[in-house]
Amino acid sequence: MKRKIITIDEEKCNGCGLCVSACEEGAIGLVNGKARLLRDDYCDGLGNCLPACPTDAISFEEREAAPYDEAAVKRNMQLQGKKTPPQGGCPGMQSKRIEHRAAAPEPEAPGTAPSQLSQWPVQIKLVPPNAPYFENANLLVAADCTAFAYGNFHKDFIRGKITLIGCPKLDEVDYADKLTDILQHNDIKSITVARMSVPCCGGIVKAVTDALHRSGKMIPWSIVTVDTDGTILE
């Protein structure tokens, strides 16, 4: 079958082994000092190993590969005396939908504002591009400082959207590749970009712009700029 699976650039790999530890399924091993995908059927295609790699040697590709065999993974872990991993890998990076009880009628009492976050994880670097919650989603791509600067961020921005956050200055990565992957493999209904007014936040806008161009899709999108005092700039 043709599916999304990881690929490892051995020229970039420094042999640190962090991806081996990050891959709970045991799909990756070190061979002659380089990381290598040992078995296609052990790779779940969620990419939990990607953020562990310090040299960006791991990426996704779509090719003919054996389907992920969860039963085989569990048998292998038992043979090695290891704890069977939860489906989706590391719990901290496990993709999941978050359901909330119906919110209390407004106005709400002080301190009772409910969370509007509808999925996990939220970091652009960690989110798996093939997560089911992306299908037909309204996407919010936000600089992480916006949620701290704007008081009603959950209510006015996160509610009803799938949220991705990042800081192009601190992460020092180009988010365009991950965002392109998300756009190409899912039907995204709209994109809202929330950025701060500081110049370095232009990086998150550029990443979304590049991803839209690369995906070749016409998706409605808008930009909201939040000032450092919490006001929204027109």
Number of domains forming the structure of the chain:
2
> If you average pLDDT over residues 99-110, what whole number do you get?
58
66 with 119, same domain?
A: no
139 with 222, same domain?
A: yes
Whether residue 23 is predicted with pLDDT greater than 90 in this model: the reply is: no
Q: Which of 35, 53, 88 is the last residue of a domain?
A: 88
41 with 126, same domain?
A: no
> If you average pLDDT over residues 140-164, what whole number do you get?
95
* Residue whose C-alpha is closest to residue 204's, from 228, 229, 221: 221
DSSP 152-201: THIIIIITTSEEEEE-HHHH-S-THHHHHHHHHHS---EEEEEEESSGGG
pLDDT of residue 77: 79
199 with 137, same domain?
A: yes
227 with 122, same domain?
A: yes
Of the pLDDT bands very low, low, confident and very high (cuts 50, 70, 90), residue 108 is low
Q: What is the CATH number of the domain that holds 216?
A: 3.40.50
pLDDT tens digits for range 115-129? 899 888 888 888 878
Contact 60, 2 (CB under 8 A): no
Task: Work out the number of other CB atoms within 10 angstroms of the CB of residue 139.
Answer: 22
228 with 116, same domain?
A: yes
Domain span holding position 129: 95-103+112-233
